[in-house]
Amino acid sequence: MVKVIYPGTFDPVTYGHIDIIKRAVELFEEVIVTVAKNPSKTCLFTVEERVEMLRESLKGFERVKIDWFDGLVVEHARRSGAVGIIRGLRAVSDFEYEFQMALMNRKLADDITTILLMPHARYTYLNSTIVRNLAQFHGNVSEFVPPIVNEKLKEKFKTK
């Protein structure tokens, strides 16, 4: 079985992420969506909350598994039995960072390939930071995120 991982913070998961997952499922037999526990990032949601939102948002996807990790992504890929790492590429501005990460990951594990997938054009401007910022000021994010995420964002930013 050809497995890949799709790592990210998913803070929160958006329809752009889900579009990348749909594309990956068309290409690979199993996609392991892996929530990164990154100590250098301050996340709105805990790892457990992000995993829960992903599970709910992706429950109709038969060949998708949800996991989390901390440490090096290539080590997690190896432990998972993955042959590749999926990364989303929204715009040219993403390319330099993703290219550098792909080269470093290749240096660390030359048997694991980075695969860059582009989302549908309607998601190229969308990222988790924009969604969080909009939700913080009580903007409507329902067209950008699954219903479970919309509800969790409303809970996080309810008026006190």
Catalytic residue positions, numbered = 17, 41, 90, 128
**Count of C-beta atoms within a 10 Å radius of residue 124:** 15
Closest listed residue to residue 106, CA positions, set 67, 70, 73, 68: 73
Structure-token match 């694991």, residue found: 112
Instruction: Report DSSP state, residue 146.
Output: -
Closest listed residue to residue 33, CA positions, set 45, 41, 25: 25
- Residue 136 to residues 45, 108, 144: CA-CA distances in angstroms? 13, 38, 14
158: buried, middle or exposed (CB in 10 Å: 19+, 13-18, 0-12)?
exposed
Closest listed residue to residue 105, CA positions, set 138, 135, 122, 82: 82
